[in-house]
Copies of this chain bind each other. A is one copy, B any other.
């Protein structure tokens, strides 16, 4: 199988992502990536045209992975319960567990990292970041929409989608600052509690 190159490429991406989330994109030298990935500089530039290309590839992979994870949890939640609102609540519990119940602290979100260095990147990456955030929001909204058939919601799903994104990003940040991943878990559960409170069964 001709996947040796692919494996090296993935290793470069893994190492890069880890380093970037700790030091910021501009704070990571290619020399450092090359050293940690146990390749040479030539090897790096065989796989990536330049720094920008690395950034674009990283974000692409990150968003794809994230999308898959969220969709998996959504599917799981649908298999667990039938009621649309309960599915949303189950989904949020699964999400909280997935992100918050690991020992180590969350490594950070590439979307946040790149946003705080936005002027270093070209318009292609800005668009990737926007699409990513919008995609997360839409996944939540689509999952929550069926619940509107049987329930009234006091808040717009649009605002709730933004709120989930904000809580996630903010929760990751606070967890990193405190070195305590439990914060992230609890914050998602608080959001879940809020969702529970703003939905009311429709009076038939």
Count the copies: 2
Q: Is A190 an interface residue (CB 8 A)?
A: yes
Cβ-neighbour of A173 out of B21, B108, B120, B169 (below 8 A): B169
Query: Chain B residues near A173 (CB, 8 Å)?
Result: 112, 115, 166, 169-170
Residue of B nearest to A164 (CB): B170
Interchain CB contact (< 8 A) of A186 among B22, B159, B165:
B159
**Residue contact B24 to A116, C-beta cutoff 8 Å:** yes
Contacts A22-B118, A116-B21: A166 and B159 contacting too (C-beta < 8 A)?
A: no
Question: From residue 126 to 162 of chain A, which have CB atoms closer than 8 A to chain B?
Answer: 129-130, 133, 155, 159, 162
Determine whether the beta carbon of A162 is less than 8 Å from that of B133. no
Q: Are B117 and A27 neighbours in the complex by a CB distance under 8 Å?
A: yes
The total of chain A residues at the interface (CB under 8 A) is 43
Is B169 a contact partner of A120 (Cβ separation < 8 A)? no
A residues engaging B (CB < 8 A)?
A: 21-27, 108, 111-113, 115-120, 129-130, 133, 155, 159, 162-163, 165-171, 173-174, 176-178, 183, 186-187, 190, 193-194, 197
| Extra A-B contacts (16), CB below 8 Å, given A159-B187, A170-B170 | A21-B116, A22-B118, A25-B27, A27-B120, A112-B112, A113-B116, A130-B177, A155-B193, A162-B187, A163-B190, A165-B174, A166-B169, A166-B173, A167-B170, A168-B170, A170-B171
Q: List 28 A-B contacts (CB under 8 A).
A: A21-B116, A23-B26, A23-B120, A24-B26, A24-B27, A24-B117, A25-B27, A26-B26, A111-B177, A112-B112, A112-B116, A112-B173, A115-B176, A129-B177, A130-B177, A133-B174, A133-B177, A162-B174, A162-B183, A163-B187, A165-B170, A166-B167, A166-B169, A167-B170, A169-B170, A190-B194, A194-B197, A197-B197
